[in-house]
Amino acid sequence: MRIEHPIRLLLLFIALGAGIVISFLRPSPGASTTLGFGDALWLNRRTDLLLQLALLVVGALGIHALLPGDEEKDTDEPLE
Protein backbone atom coordinates (compact mmCIF):
# COMPACT_ATOMS: atom_id res chain seq x y z
CA MET A 1 0.00 0.00 0.00
CA ARG A 2 1.33 3.37 -0.93
CA ILE A 3 1.96 6.04 1.67
CA GLU A 4 -0.87 8.26 0.34
CA HIS A 5 -3.58 5.76 1.27
CA PRO A 6 -2.96 5.71 5.05
CA ILE A 7 -2.63 9.50 5.07
CA ARG A 8 -5.91 9.92 3.19
CA LEU A 9 -7.61 7.46 5.50
CA LEU A 10 -6.29 9.30 8.57
CA LEU A 11 -7.46 12.65 7.17
CA LEU A 12 -10.88 11.15 6.44
CA PHE A 13 -11.28 9.91 10.02
CA ILE A 14 -10.11 13.26 11.41
CA ALA A 15 -12.63 15.12 9.23
CA LEU A 16 -15.47 12.76 10.20
CA GLY A 17 -14.59 13.05 13.89
CA ALA A 18 -14.45 16.84 13.67
CA GLY A 19 -17.83 16.89 11.94
CA ILE A 20 -19.39 14.74 14.64
CA VAL A 21 -17.93 16.90 17.43
CA ILE A 22 -19.09 20.12 15.75
CA SER A 23 -22.58 18.74 15.19
CA PHE A 24 -22.93 17.95 18.90
CA LEU A 25 -21.50 21.24 20.13
CA ARG A 26 -23.28 23.56 17.71
CA PRO A 27 -27.05 23.78 18.19
CA SER A 28 -29.19 23.40 15.11
CA PRO A 29 -30.41 26.68 13.62
CA GLY A 30 -34.00 27.52 14.41
CA ALA A 31 -34.51 24.73 16.92
CA SER A 32 -38.22 24.32 17.46
CA THR A 33 -40.64 21.88 18.99
CA THR A 34 -41.99 20.67 15.64
CA LEU A 35 -40.99 17.25 14.43
CA GLY A 36 -38.54 16.84 11.60
CA PHE A 37 -39.33 14.93 8.43
CA GLY A 38 -37.71 11.71 9.62
CA ASP A 39 -39.46 11.78 12.98
CA ALA A 40 -42.85 12.52 11.44
CA LEU A 41 -42.40 9.80 8.84
CA TRP A 42 -41.40 7.25 11.48
CA LEU A 43 -44.34 8.12 13.74
CA ASN A 44 -46.95 8.17 10.99
CA ARG A 45 -45.78 5.29 8.78
CA ARG A 46 -43.97 2.91 11.11
CA THR A 47 -45.62 -0.25 9.73
CA ASP A 48 -44.89 0.75 6.14
CA LEU A 49 -41.22 1.39 6.89
CA LEU A 50 -40.84 -1.89 8.79
CA LEU A 51 -42.48 -3.79 5.93
CA GLN A 52 -40.12 -2.20 3.41
CA LEU A 53 -37.13 -3.07 5.61
CA ALA A 54 -38.34 -6.67 5.91
CA LEU A 55 -38.79 -6.93 2.13
CA LEU A 56 -35.28 -5.58 1.62
CA VAL A 57 -33.80 -8.21 3.96
CA VAL A 58 -35.85 -11.02 2.38
CA GLY A 59 -34.73 -9.93 -1.08
CA ALA A 60 -31.08 -9.91 -0.02
CA LEU A 61 -31.43 -13.37 1.49
CA GLY A 62 -33.13 -14.61 -1.68
CA ILE A 63 -30.29 -13.35 -3.85
CA HIS A 64 -27.80 -14.96 -1.47
CA ALA A 65 -29.67 -18.28 -1.76
CA LEU A 66 -29.51 -18.18 -5.56
CA LEU A 67 -25.75 -17.65 -5.69
CA PRO A 68 -23.57 -20.78 -5.70
CA GLY A 69 -21.76 -21.56 -2.47
CA ASP A 70 -18.07 -22.29 -1.97
CA GLU A 71 -18.57 -26.07 -1.99
CA GLU A 72 -20.44 -26.06 -5.30
CA LYS A 73 -18.32 -26.52 -8.41
CA ASP A 74 -19.05 -25.52 -11.96
CA THR A 75 -18.41 -28.85 -13.70
CA ASP A 76 -20.05 -30.72 -16.54
CA GLU A 77 -19.93 -34.02 -14.72
CA PRO A 78 -23.30 -35.71 -14.03
CA LEU A 79 -24.49 -35.78 -10.46
CA GLU A 80 -24.47 -39.13 -8.72
Residue 13, pLDDT score:
92
- Please report, as a single letter, which amino acid is at residue 27: P
Mean pLDDT of 59-75: 77
Boundaries of every domain in the chain: 36-67
pLDDT tens, position by position, 20-50? 888 778 766 666 667 777 777 677 777 888 8
Class of residue 40 by CB neighbours under 10 A (exposed 0-12, middle 13-18, buried 19+): exposed
Asked if residue 74 lies in contact with residue 68, where contact means CB atoms within 8 angstroms, the answer is yes
